[in-house]
Amino acid sequence: MYANGGGDKSSLLLCPDCQNKLELAKQRANFKAWRCNNRHCPNRKRELAKLNSSQYQEYLKRPSQFKLRYIYREYAFKIRQIAPQSSAQSRVDLSRIQASPQVLGLILSYCVNYGISAAKTAALMYDIHGIKISKQTILNYAQAVAANIRPFLDNYPYQLSSQLVGDETYLRVKGKWHYLFYFYDVNKKIILADYVTPKRTTESACIAIYQVLKKYQVIPENLRFTVDDNPIYRVARLYYAHQEGINFDLNIVKGLTNETDVAKEYRPAKQTIERLNRSLKANYRPMGGFKSASGSITYVTLYSLCHNFLRPHQSLGYHPPVEVPELTGLTRMPDKWLRLIKLAQEQLPTA
């Protein structure tokens, strides 16, 4: 009767409650669900006892609607194999940029801080500053800077709280919708994950959560993610608990970014994600979508850098979420960008 038969390692899976062999209940592209089918399993009896009388009547009519049995999910991927090492790739060597540092600082300030498109920035550079530079050159510079500073963004020793909020928003890439998986620290307002992908899957959620977890020196015991009710987050939590031994709580809030009346304790998370999404959208709208996947990754990377290190936040007393000591005393945004690039390059491993 055992669906898994003999031989493969899966047949070793046992129910932690009754030690019965688990049976294959579901097979999907990225996971298998193994179930304890023992009617007398303590797990099933416990879950059955939790039902109230109307739920129990419903259960008698439609038992398959109720998940009372122990389920183990086995995933067909390992996070370390699927998580991209560096999501921003460069075609331009920053050291070979022809423009002066001042020009580079101005371009980044216009494009990223003010959300001005590359074409309009090119016009602005000519009309206001008398500097001739093409739209394509601006895009190349942005890409080179993003690729150079990405490790700084990923590896900075952030001081983090344990309260996180995550959400997916949409970006237009080559006429198609891509998903941007965002995770923020609710208290520190720091962007911890900014994963762009065409796939809204459990793997994508796992990769975004991986970007978050990598930023903790020690993963806090009370780590808590507030997310919307997309089931991919529930599956991702099970993946980390079962396969990586990392546990975190999940707060499921329906309509996290819609007009809903959420419980008081979720309100700060909701407000954080709404404010951050709003400012990203306002900034990215003039771009009118991206011509390539790397273009969107470049933009999102520069946006995260600007958000975490450069842009003052009202809720933080007009300080940026992360105050880098090397930037103190600088008042002009172009100068702050250049100092950030210098810092990032100093921290690059010399190969």
Q: Which is nearer to Zn ion, 38 or 277 (CB)?
A: 38
Torsion of CA 148, 149, 151, 152, to 10 degrees: 140
Q: What share of the chain is helix, strand, coil (3-state, %, to 5)?
A: 45, 15, 35
- The token pair at 263 is 């419980």
For Zn ion, the closer CB: 14 or 330: 14
- Shortest distance, CB of residue 15 to Zn ion, whole angstroms? 3
Q: Does 15 bind Zn ion (CB under 5 A)?
A: yes
Size, binding site for Zn ion by CB under 5 A: 8
* Measured distance CA(254)–CA(222) in Å, rounded: 22
Least distance (Å) from Zn ion to the CB of residue 45? 10
In contact, 338 and 94? CB cutoff 8 Å: no
Give min distance, CB of 67 to Zn ion, in A. 13
The contacts of residue 48 (CB under 8 Å, 6+ apart) are 56, 59, 68
Task: Name residues whose C-beta falls within 8 Å of residue 245's C-beta, 6 or more positions apart in sequence.
Answer: none
Distance CA 286, CA 297 (A): 16
- State which of residues 13, 22, 41, 235 lies at the interface with Zn ion (CB under 5 A): 41
21-29, 39-47, 128-136, 153-161 -> range binding Zn ion (CB under 5 A): 39-47
Work out which of 3, 14, 18, 213 binds Zn ion, going by CB under 5 A. Answer: 18
The residue behind tokens 């210098």 is 342
Judged by CB, which is closer to Zn ion: 20, or 30?
20
Candidate segments 35-43, 143-151, 288-296, 308-316, binder of Zn ion by CB under 5 A = 35-43
* Residue 38 touching Zn ion (CB under 5 A): yes
**Shortest distance, position 22 Cβ to Zn ion, whole Å:** 8
Residue 2: CB minimum distance to Zn ion, A: 14
Please calculate the CA angle 293-298-299 and round it to the nearest 5 degrees. Answer: 100
**Cβ closest to Zn ion, residue 35 vs residue 188:** 35
Nearer to Zn ion, 36 or 212 (CB): 36
Residue 304 near Zn ion by CB under 5 A: no
Show contacts with Zn ion in window 50-89 (CB under 5 A).
Answer: 70
Which amino acid would we find at residue 195? Y
Count other Cβ atoms within 10 Å, centred on residue 34. Answer: 23
Residues of this chain that interact with Zn ion (CB under 5 A) are: 15, 17-18, 20, 36, 38, 41, 70
